[in-house]
Amino acid sequence: MARYVGANDPQIKAVGLISAADMGAYRMQGLKPEYEKQAVAGLAAHLAAEGMAPLAGCTPEGLAKEVWAHAADWNVPKLAPKLVDRSVLVITSDDGLAASNDAFVEALKKAGGKEITAVHLSTDHSYSDQRVALTEQVLEMLEYLRRGNGAKL
C-alpha cells in the first residue's frame, strides 16, 4: 500500500518498501466480471496458504475481494511512473517477494526514477537474523533525506 499511497499523494516525498507484496492485481486486471468468483476464490486460497490474514477482522476472502475491486489501481508496474520524482527504498529478503520488487525497481528506473535504493538481505520475511542490517538501511535512507539529498520528510 505504501507504493499506492505514495504514487497518489504528491505530498509524500519518499517511499520505503520492506518485502512489499504485489497482491497479484495485474493478474485480475482485465478479467471479465463473470470470472470474479473464481478469481477471488483462487486468490483467497493462495492468501490463506501463505498466511496473509494476520490483521484483526481480516480474512483471505476479504483481501482477495479488495484486490479484485482495486486491480487497476494496485497494478504495481503502472505505479512506477508516478514515483519517479520520489526517493524510493526497496528492501527484499528470501521470502518470495523479491522478484516482484525487482521488477518494480526496473520499471521505476525505466520510467526515469533516479533516487532508488534497492537492497536484498538473505533472510526470512521477518528479517529474523538481519534486523540490525534492516534498521541500518532504513536509518541510512532517513539520514540521506534529512541531509537534503533527496526528498524532505
Q: Where along the chain do its domains lie?
A: 2-21+75-146, 25-69
Pick the range with the lowest mean pLDDT from 3-17, 33-47, 79-93, 101-115: 33-47
Average pLDDT, integer, range 47-58: 74
Average pLDDT, integer, range 111-133: 96
Q: How many residues does the chain have?
A: 153
Residue 47 backbone dihedrals phi, psi, to 5 degrees: -65, -40
pLDDT in tens, 53-76: 666 778 889 888 988 888 888 888
What percent of the chain clears pLDDT 90, i.e. is strictly above it? 52
Residue-by-residue DSSP string for 114-144: --EEEEE-SS-TT-TT-HHHHHHHHHHHHHH
Which alpha helices (DSSP H) does the chain contain, by range? 2-8, 25-28, 36-50, 60-69, 76-79, 98-110, 131-146
- Each residue of 34-64: b (16+ CB within 10 Å) or e? eeeeebbeebbeebeeeebbeeeeeebbebb
Pick the range with the lowest mean pLDDT from 34-38, 58-62, 96-100, 145-149: 145-149
Q: Flag whether pLDDT at 153 surpasses 70.
A: no
Q: Name which residue leads in pLDDT, 129 or 58.
A: 129
CATH annotation of 2-21+75-146: 3.40.50.1820
Q: Name which residue leads in pLDDT, 92 or 48.
A: 92
Q: Flag whether pLDDT at 149 surpasses 70.
A: no
What is the helix (H) or strand (E) element at residue 16, kind and residue range?
strand 14-18
**Mean pLDDT computed over every residue of the chain:** 88
Instruction: Report d(CA 89, CA 136) in Å as an integer.
Output: 12
